[in-house]
Structure 1
């Protein structure tokens, strides 16, 4: 199961304006990345405005999703995407790494989630009842997803 927590912001002279923040979960037959791309919020983006999208995702993208998102980014140069993944998807490592490289070439910034991203994701998307983020034993904070 994959979770995608995202923040969609419009960039203007006064700074970023939050348009939406939500959590998506894999549905049978539909990966979260495709749910995001088909959402009304994304379909209605205006071409003459700049947007910043931040994803916190539990698994890095499969090759098919990476290709779809790459195509979207090439068709929407006004959308800037940062992806923070907590784990690297290994189904077909060589192909998936190529997909991640293609995403980078399309303009996406891709990194492994650090303590800061876990904390930011938790603060924004989890009902934590005011408790500070405490990493669990064995949590790994990879500095990158080895896509170079």
Structure 2
């Protein structure tokens, strides 16, 4: 269950950063985040996340708690197995880190929205989606 705690901390950190940035600049925090997220989304609903530690990987990253009997972890294990059966390189991981060097509040908002979604979180070449279907992951991986 420590993974859930990490997700909560990431969500709170993202919210705190958004709150700070809003008051620092005097701008609405969700307007720019939504506009930027929309422009960086793929047709399969995967969203570009800044500075992921897994961005350069050719393997699809499937993230959920380790050795967990919870339904979400079981979905992650099943998805990873199905991707492997289709010949898609996959890594079943249990944590990930981000670097938001730009200080852009929209980046923190995108990270927070994906990481607070339903598990598993799936990353394909630096783009992520929470709880995608097998077809969505395959299409994202094989897409341009």
Greater helix fraction, Structure 1 or Structure 2: 2
Which of 1 and 2 has higher RCO (CA within 8 Å, sep 6+)? 2
Query: Normalising to structure 1: TM-score of the pair?
Result: 0.23
Query: Normalising to structure 2: TM-score of the pair?
Result: 0.23
Greater strand fraction, Structure 1 or Structure 2: 1
